[in-house]
Structure 1
């Protein structure tokens, strides 16, 4: 019977261990968070759609170099009373009608007409080539915009990730404090029951313990909220994930060296493609003031109910008879004379936009370089602060343990012990805040340089 109970207990322990192992998910690395964000965040699809749209626009621009063909088919039925002379049926076209006095028969006739015309722009003084270059730069701009967005996304995910680590560290800090004060409370109760300490110590310890528990509740809520905030980017529940909290509280000293200046950055690439686009676009507008040489060709087929003998039939099927086919080929020059002034103004607008983009580029480069040097100066000093606060925590912990032993021996009173515990609590909190500032600076540095390798190695 004893062996049977032992087997049952062993199986129960194995089952509980199995469920515990599966309930606690592996640590969520920062690289995994970036990968999930890039795969699931809706903004990525928005940028991808922009790239596809720019690519289609490029194809449309290229297709304009092909011959432009038009076809029309029509079938009409009506009168044919004509008069000699010319007129404009609509702006851009004119028509000449002949004399119909020699016709006889019906007063209406059916007509059928079909035509195909091709217009091939052979030479336009490089306007098409410049338009193609501008379309290609639009595609490059869309790709640069995607790179800049990915960098911003990595920065935002890192900020949410480290905020989660920060709130988890504060929750662990509050829990550790509650354990210490609970130990003091239990000890004061035992000493009071033994008559070695006054009963008022129990009330004082209980008051401190209640305050610490309220801090624990506060940081429990913030830690849970920070996990939900991160799910905005990774679209997955991370409630059971463990965290790299030890790495958060022990920053390494292998800080990347400061760069002299930022020459290439996704933010700068976006502006650079804008500059080049406006420059090429202005050149294309300048070529628009010149004429275009085109090769023209067309064929037409017509049927009518008016016979060659001058007899008119009003039968619909006769509208397909008495056919006549024609073709026309030639070259043409198109020159929009009134558009020369407007295209010249548009060219000036494009040049001003290019100059504005250059100024924006210089401003962005100045901000990035200034921010980088300022951040690197702070990182060096912040690392020194982290090391000193870590030493302060170690010393405060050792001092607290000594004072706890002295309180157990009756050498000091409870207020002194609680004061020492408060000093330890403040030292731990100062260290956590110093680490938070350090990692915020490292995120800023990674965003300014576009290099997140240090963060990905540590987390």
Structure 2
């Protein structure tokens, strides 16, 4: 009979607050990783870095330019120096004539130009290596964000679970208060108790209702936090309560901590590697660049080769002006070396080395904090396990005291004040049990967050 009442009580609680969906922790994490905006953004950053790596590899390819132009104009030449400042000169070619004329015709230039930095003394390869490390950094940043999100969702899930179990305890507390309110009212009506007992019982019921409403509000707050982390539309969830009544199996095994590097430390390490790689790249700028080049050029003109002596030897016909009739080619190799680059790059290298040292200090600080967190988590696990062992004893003793006092009260052998105290003690014991059970898992999650191996936690489900 008692079991049936408890089952009915659970059903009424969840039906009354409108829960519509049961959610497992694995489902919550999967949904959160798929929908959370920060993770989706960093996934795109990682994809962008991979494309940048491909682009850096293609930078080694030679430049191959095709050019064609067709013009119409005059060809008056003049002796004298000229610098095409700002690219504003006109490249009209022709011998100087005694006087200006306005004879005009079509002309054309067709060009294929190739240049290739075929040996850069390692600059190209170091750029590729830098892009590779950038890919690792972006992937580790994504991995770290996913790990943090898994921890955040797990913590929010445990908080929601704890709030829902506290809600059940407050509902049971209200049910006990209402039972004794009816008992007190009946005994007062029959003249067996003073009227103050009924008044005190009414006050206890109101107190229990207030506590229940606060518990409902707390459930709603924790539910909304989980909704935000999952990136889904507002809805109410029912958590899986099967696992919380037992302790994590990993705590029983007492396995050694994982040797894999924490995702946060992996991220800091790749940042250090990226900075060190930049130093290597800057040093390569000390050296020259060797290039190969080649040009194939074809020209056409409406002016005849005798135009210098006969100013009538030209044609305004379009095809005569753009049909190529003169070609040249040129191939060669060259070397470019800016001798002042080492003086400039030396300070850039020094600055980057300081950046590497700063990143190393951040790595060391994060490592110390994680080790401190791990020690704290181990201690917290020990305390929570001790409390886990004591909680059933407290609840059992409180239940016996409650039954004894309720029996005495029904027989008129004690007053409502003593009974109220036992009700409060039992309610407090049930709340402590719910909190203690949840704290074991919260402590274990804290350890997982410090070790960086989330599989230790999720494999429990």
Normalising by structure 2, report the TM-score: 0.87
The aligned residue for residue 16 of structure 1 is none
CA distance in 1, matches of 2:441, 2:88: 72
Q: Is the 8 A contact 2:261 2:452 kept in 1?
A: no
CA distance in 2, matches of 1:114, 1:102: 31
Out of 91, 99, 115, the residue aligned to residue 119 of structure 1 is: 115
Report which stretch shifted further, 91-100 or 287-296: 91-100
The aligned residue for residue 426 of structure 1 is 428
Out of 124, 136, 139, the residue aligned to residue 143 of structure 1 is: 139
How far 1:260 sits from its partner (Å)?
A: 6.5
Question: Helix, strand or coil for the counterpart of 1:101?
Answer: coil
The aligned residue for residue 239 of structure 2 is 243
Q: Is the 8 A contact 2:227 2:235 kept in 1?
A: no
Report which stretch shifted further, 441-450 or 145-154: 441-450
CA distance in 1, matches of 2:154, 2:400: 35
The aligned residue for residue 33 of structure 2 is 38
CA distance in 1, matches of 2:268, 2:420: 59
The aligned residue for residue 310 of structure 2 is none
1:289-332 superposed Cα distances (whole Å, 9 cap, x missing partner): 21111111111121112112222334444321462111111111
CA distance in 2, matches of 1:341, 1:423: 79
The aligned residue for residue 302 of structure 2 is 305
How far 1:63 sits from its partner (Å)?
A: 0.8
Matched, 1:414 2:397: no
CA distance in 2, matches of 1:149, 1:188: 58
How far 1:252 sits from its partner (Å)?
A: 4.7
The aligned residue for residue 331 of structure 2 is 329
CA distance in 2, matches of 1:177, 1:361: 50
How far 1:358 sits from its partner (Å)?
A: 1.5
Once the two structures are superposed, the pairs formed by residues 285-300 of structure 1 within 5 Å of their partners are: 285-300=282-297
The aligned residue for residue 181 of structure 1 is 177
Change (3 A) 1:168 1:159: same
Change (3 A) 1:284 1:240: closer
Question: Helix, strand or coil for the counterpart of 1:242?
Answer: strand
Question: Helix, strand or coil for the counterpart of 2:218?
Answer: helix
How far 1:105 sits from its partner (Å)?
A: 7.8
The aligned residue for residue 101 of structure 1 is 97
1:138-174 superposed Cα distances (whole Å, 9 cap, x missing partner): 1111111111010011011112111211211221111
Question: Helix, strand or coil for the counterpart of 2:109?
Answer: strand
CA distance in 2, matches of 1:367, 1:263: 17
How far 1:31 sits from its partner (Å)?
A: 1.3
Structure 2 stretches of 5 or more lacking a match?
1-14, 308-312
How far 1:268 sits from its partner (Å)?
A: 0.8
Q: Is the 8 A contact 2:75 2:94 kept in 1?
A: no
Q: Is the 8 A contact 1:165 1:244 kept in 2?
A: yes
1:253-281 superposed Cα distances (whole Å, 9 cap, x missing partner): 74264756866111111111111112122
Q: Is the 8 A contact 2:75 2:93 kept in 1?
A: no
CA distance in 2, matches of 1:362, 1:92: 55
The aligned residue for residue 265 of structure 1 is 262
Change (3 A) 1:107 1:253: closer
Report which stretch shifted further, 423-432 or 255-264: 255-264
Matched, 1:162 2:164: no
Root-mean-square deviation over aligned CA pairs:
2.8
Q: Is the 8 A contact 1:85 1:97 kept in 2?
A: no
Q: Is the 8 A contact 2:302 2:316 kept in 1?
A: yes
Q: Is the 8 A contact 2:248 2:441 kept in 1?
A: no
How far 1:241 sits from its partner (Å)?
A: 4.3
Structure 1 stretches of 5 or more lacking a match?
1-19
Normalising by structure 1, report the TM-score: 0.87
Q: Is the 8 A contact 1:167 1:219 kept in 2?
A: yes
Change (3 A) 1:381 1:253: farther
The aligned residue for residue 51 of structure 2 is 56
Out of 318, 342, 345, the residue aligned to residue 344 of structure 2 is: 342
Q: Is the 8 A contact 2:108 2:324 kept in 1?
A: no
